[in-house]
Structure 1
Amino acid sequence: MTTAAIEPRAGRRCHNALNSLHSTHYFSPDLGRELGGIGVTHPRAVNFAVRAAALGPVGPGTVAATFYNYKYELVARHVPAVWRTAPPERVLAARVRAVDATLRRLLGEEAVASAEMAEAARLALRAAEACSRGARPLYAAHADLPVPDAPHLAFWHAATLLREHRGDGHLTVLVSAGLDGLEALVTHTATGRGMAPKWVLGTRGWSAQEWDAAVARLRERGLLDGTGELTERGAALRDEIERETDRLDAAPYEHLGAEGVTRLTELGTAFARTASAAGAFPADLIGKG
């Protein structure tokens, strides 16, 4: 363990690799199969249930607040009704089964049972030791869950903790920047690194008219230009948002230390690339189109 500071973007790069692996199950047919087996079949209900289950049988307000960029009315169509179909503890068990099947399918049995996977799990869990619960509801809820025994599931669990820890802090920064959930999505898409508009509109509950209204508000603030691209001011704001998110999320990676972060990034990137090459994500998920 070390408390030495590391270059901020090193933590961001590590997070991005781990988040990619964490996110594979959201697009996996295994998740739909496992949730369908306990009665949850609508894709949006599946999404809300698996990520919010750690919070307990919460209502739509809690989910909309902690997820941030989903329209409240969409959330309310499925929450809390989903808990009457499948209580959180059954959802959590189904999620782990889906993750197990997804990682085995995408990475292969050899990688799942490898020494590298066990090493990645140890490093990621060590980093997560320095995460903090204060003002981080999704992280705190997942931190109360037991660590799975199998290394690939322990690695995924730790990646989830690190993802939600950064995500909770990121929402604090977005609020401070004066970006609501949809505006955050629009500006992220404008960077070329966020979800394409078709995926935002198809999954977050917003209409094309609401997207256009958000674009208009951002133009009035001087953050987007007439073509929907980030202005210099808008690009600077997005850069500052990421830098402040890095600052709020520094502790896990400083705890792990520069050498551990580098190794964890290498391992996470290799696993994520293997998963991506195996078709983990839709080809048109990211971009401005």
Structure 2
Amino acid sequence: MTTTVILSAGRRCQTALEAVHAFSYFTPETFREFAAFGVEDGHARYFAERGGALGRVGAGTVTAAFHVFKHELVARHVPEVWERVAPEEAVAARLRACDAALRRILGDEAVASPEIAEAAELALRAAEAGERASRPLYAAQADQPVPDAPHLALWHAATLLREHRGGGHLAALAGAGLDPVEALVSHAADGDRRTLSRRLLRTRGWSAEELEEGARRLRERGLFTADGTLTPAGAALRRDVEEATDRLDAGPWEHLGADGTARLTELAGGLAGRIAAAGGFPMGSPRPGDGTGEG
């Protein structure tokens, strides 16, 4: 594949896989699993389920790895959440929730289908070519054992690929000179991402004043208009960020190859459609980066 084809094919595949990964944040099975440990606050649950693979880390590590959350919000829940659910318990609870949710949505026969097994094999093959350096969430997830059940192996691989792309995305944001608030604000103004992204703005801990200050900084750089939309320069910068993210995420798709990437996109897309039809995304179907809100 040429570089251009690799990048566009990888992004299309990642769009489908994002849904396979991200539905777990919204499913009632996840809420019940963590409520059983006394973790019912949405932020605490999110930090525990996504950060559990990192181990018993402090607030600083979670803030750095998750990027767009205000540190004071993270510190309100980490490391206290580990007194309720240990990291290894959080990892296991997340996997149990995915198992139950996928069986509910797809049915026991479908989760054992040859198509799910094929998608898992392809996604794992792609994920094995990821790079651990500068990608702490991918590296931590890669240390987890691959589940035996194909539908859970697929979810595990989709999570690996999502965190791999996410790590590259954070590097691209830093390279573009966008701090966490500026990344969020510009992301929320970017085309058809707006509805979901503006909802995410309210969940990352920043005050209205801090968000407005971020918008002011973007206006001073000529990236934002007075009415809260991207200027042509701002839109170009966001495109540059996505293209840089694609380049940093090319390894797995080069390794999987054109035919494998196309087949995985087809299989994951069908699964994503079934998850969405079952109400798996109360805030709307995610795109790369949206489900975990990195801007």
The answer to whether TM tops 0.5 is: yes
Gaps of 5+ in 1: none
1:173 aligns with 2:183: no
Residue of structure 1 in register with 2:14 after alignment: 15
1:283 shift after superposition = 4.4
Residue type at the aligned position of 1:173: A
1:108 shift after superposition = 2.8
CA contact (8 A) 2:20 2:268 kept: yes
Equivalents in 1 of 2:168, 2:200: separation in Å?
24
Residue of structure 2 in register with 1:41 after alignment: 40
Residue type at the aligned position of 1:51: R
1:217 aligns with 2:245: no
Residue of structure 2 in register with 1:259 after alignment: 259
Residue of structure 2 in register with 1:193 after alignment: 193
How many residues align? The count is: 284
Deviation string, structure 1 residues 48-90 (Cα, Å, up to 9, x no partner): 0011111100000100010001111100000000111111011
CA contact (8 A) 2:6 2:250 kept: no
Equivalent residues in 2 for 1:273-288, closer than 5 Å = 273-283=273-283
1:71 aligns with 2:75: no
Equivalents in 1 of 2:10, 2:78: separation in Å?
34
Equivalents in 2 of 1:285, 1:198: separation in Å?
13
Equivalents in 1 of 2:280, 2:270: separation in Å?
14
Residue of structure 1 in register with 2:107 after alignment: 108
1:50 aligns with 2:38: no
Distance 1:184 1:28, change over 3 A: same
- State the SS of the aligned residue for 1:262: helix
Q: Percent identity?
A: 58
Equivalents in 2 of 1:84, 1:105: separation in Å?
31
Residue of structure 1 in register with 2:291 after alignment: none
The worse-fitting range, judged by mean Cα deviation, of 187-196 and 62-71 is 187-196
CA contact (8 A) 2:187 2:197 kept: no
CA contact (8 A) 2:16 2:269 kept: yes
Gaps of 5+ in 2: 288-295
CA contact (8 A) 1:24 1:102 kept: no
Deviation string, structure 1 residues 159-202 (Cα, Å, up to 9, x no partner): 0000001101110111111111121111111113253423321x
Distance 1:4 1:220, change over 3 A: closer
CA contact (8 A) 1:121 1:155 kept: yes
Equivalents in 2 of 1:40, 1:198: separation in Å?
22
Residue of structure 1 in register with 2:162 after alignment: 163
Equivalents in 2 of 1:150, 1:20: separation in Å?
19
Residue of structure 2 in register with 1:148 after alignment: 147
Deviation string, structure 1 residues 211-252 (Cα, Å, up to 9, x no partner): 222111111111111221111101110111011111111000
- State the SS of the aligned residue for 1:22: helix
Distance 1:98 1:162, change over 3 A: same
Across the aligned residues of Structure 1 and Structure 2, the Cα RMSD in angstroms comes to 1.7
Equivalents in 2 of 1:199, 1:101: separation in Å?
26
Deviation string, structure 1 residues 83-131 (Cα, Å, up to 9, x no partner): 1111101111111011111212223333212111000000000001111
Residue of structure 1 in register with 2:206 after alignment: 206
* TM-score, scaled relative to structure 2: 0.92
Equivalents in 2 of 1:68, 1:174: separation in Å?
10
